[in-house]
Structure 1
Amino acid sequence: MSPKTAKSAYTPARPAVTEKGRRTWPVVLGIVLAFAVGVPVGLGIAHLGTNDSDQAVAEMQRAEAHRDAARITELTTMARETKQVVRPVVDGLTLVAPDDGSAASQATAAQLSEWKKVMEQERQRYSETVSGSTGTNVARNALGAAVNLLSTSLDTYSVAAELPADRRPAVIELAARQRSLAVATWSVAATQLDQLNVDSGNGHQHVYLTDAESAVMDDGFEEGSHG
């Protein structure tokens, strides 16, 4: 008789669930749910923050453009005023210290005194620092440099006037070169200022220092036009 096959008495044991485990699962589940909900919300808040930041930057740029447009207008007005008062100095130095060295006359002490007052006034005007855009700062600094060069030319001529006659021509020639460089520097500044005015919506503004300079730099556009 074959032995009776007995049913196995082995039953896999279930893992015991401890009190600690029952407390841990809700915490884990809560963390998972919080992460699932928090990530989209966080991304949404970040997106809103980015939009707000972009709007703030755009607003700052508009405000700065508005301020710079005002600075361009102020600088153009100042350049016109400077042109009006220094033009007699330029014309006077051109007569007594021409480029070819053939001076037909000599400036009087009264003329030199008056010219020096004008140039000192204008040097002080451009010594003030007014911050604007790079282009506006370049134009202002170039105008100031031209004024300083013209003032230096006048100082050089004043020294020449006190020298013996045989030493005077070389120094007067130096004064003439400084005057020409001042006019050329102003021309660069005036070209920059003209472009700034066009870009800011004011149209062409031509503030060249001499008639000869205006003729050379003539762009064919009428004053205030937007061509």
Structure 2
Amino acid sequence: MPSKTARSARLLPPRETPRPSRSRYAIGLVAAILVAGSLGYLFGAPDATENSVAEMRAAEMKRDATQVTELTSAARATVAELAVVMTGLGEALPPGGALAARTPTDAEVGEWQRVMKQAVDKHSVTPSGTTATNVARAGFRSAVDGMAIAVDTYAYCRKLPDDVRAGCLDVARRQRTAGVMAWSVAATQLDQINVDAGHGHQHVYLTSTPGEGAMTADSLPEGAN
């Protein structure tokens, strides 16, 4: 019997390692981009929007610092002008609406009105700034308006008969007190925004007379932070 020839074993081709599909590659690429973006966000890498916002804030801070300086100078000039008027009016308007211990002349009262009108005109200019600066500016404007009304009321009271003059003088006195108090509130706000702007404390108070209810300056020296 013829012998069977043994067949040689076939060598199977090696199994190929599966290649990632294009879709899986794309997903991996997107994931890498997202991770890189997240790391950039976590580590504070600013984008164009953040840079723009930062520039706007820096410009606003610079503008506000300038406005604070200008408002402080204007308030100091007004204090020098109004101090004489408010002192004289206070002497002419003693508590209780009584007749004045010192009666000013018509020329003196006319000068008071002129000074107050100038102060009103000066503080009527209200450029827009930050909220804190706008509050201080509006406070000074309200204060000088109130004090100007007090002077005008006093001038009117002088023309009235004696039997009704006392009540009118009391109204003028209360208006003066309200104006002085309003100025003290604005001055306190001005002091704070100067500190915030890096200028240190700036005390621009109209009066420190006790008993009027006005706020007064703190004990810190000028320019101290």
Q: Considering the TM-score relative to the shorter chain, is it more than 0.5?
A: yes
Secondary structure class of the residue paired with 2:97: coil
Contact conserved, 1:131 with 1:137, CA < 8 A, in 2?
yes
Q: Which residue matches 1:19? A: none
The normalised TM-score by structure 2 is: 0.78
The gaps in structure 1 that reach 5 residues or longer are 1-29
RMSD: 2.5
Q: Which residue matches 1:26? A: none
Contact conserved, 1:99 with 1:177, CA < 8 A, in 2?
no
Q: C-alpha separation between the residues in 2 aligned to 1:157 and 1:38?
A: 82
Is 1:121 aligned to residue 106 of structure 2?
A: no
Contact conserved, 2:180 with 2:214, CA < 8 A, in 1?
no
Q: C-alpha separation between the residues in 1 aligned to 2:130 and 2:215?
A: 28
Q: 1:68 aligns with which of 60, 64, 68?
A: 64
Q: Which residue matches 1:93? A: 89
The gaps in structure 2 that reach 5 residues or longer are 1-21
Offset at residue 98 of structure 1 (A): 2.2
Q: Which amino acid aligns with 2:147?
A: L
The normalised TM-score by structure 1 is: 0.77
Q: 2:52 aligns with which of 56, 64, 79?
A: 56
1:73-110 deviation per Cα after TM superposition (whole angstroms, max 9, x unaligned)? 10000000000011111011101112333321222110
Between the two proteins, the alignment pairs up a number of residues equal to: 196
Q: Which residue matches 2:139? A: 142
Identical columns (%): 42
Q: C-alpha separation between the residues in 1 aligned to 2:119 and 2:214?
A: 25
Q: C-alpha separation between the residues in 2 aligned to 1:69 and 1:106?
A: 44
Q: C-alpha separation between the residues in 2 aligned to 1:215 and 1:150?
A: 14
Q: Which amino acid aligns with 1:53?
A: T
Offset at residue 220 of structure 1 (A): 1.3
Q: C-alpha separation between the residues in 2 aligned to 1:114 and 1:166?
A: 27
